[in-house]
Amino acid sequence: MDEIVRAFAFHRSSRIVGLIGLTRTTAIRLAKEIGRVDHAKDME
């Protein structure tokens, strides 16, 4: 029984870490897009 709980807990934590990583890359991409838009406005 302990093995199952441990495996499940590990799976959940790794999934959360994966979500955080995905959110971070998305945030960085968004920041770059916003930066590009701001830069384009400055060029006008």
Q: How does pLDDT run across 1-44, given as a tens digit for each residue?
A: 788 888 888 888 888 888 899 999 999 999 999 888 887 777 76
The whole model's pTM is what?
0.50
**What is the residue whose two structure tokens read 């093995």?**
3
Residue written as token pair 């897009």: 33
What pLDDT score does 13 carry?
86
**What whole-number distance in Å separates Cα of residue 44 and Cα of residue 42?**
6
pLDDT at 23: 94
pLDDT of residue 25: 94
Distance between CA 5 and CA 44 in Å, rounded?
A: 59
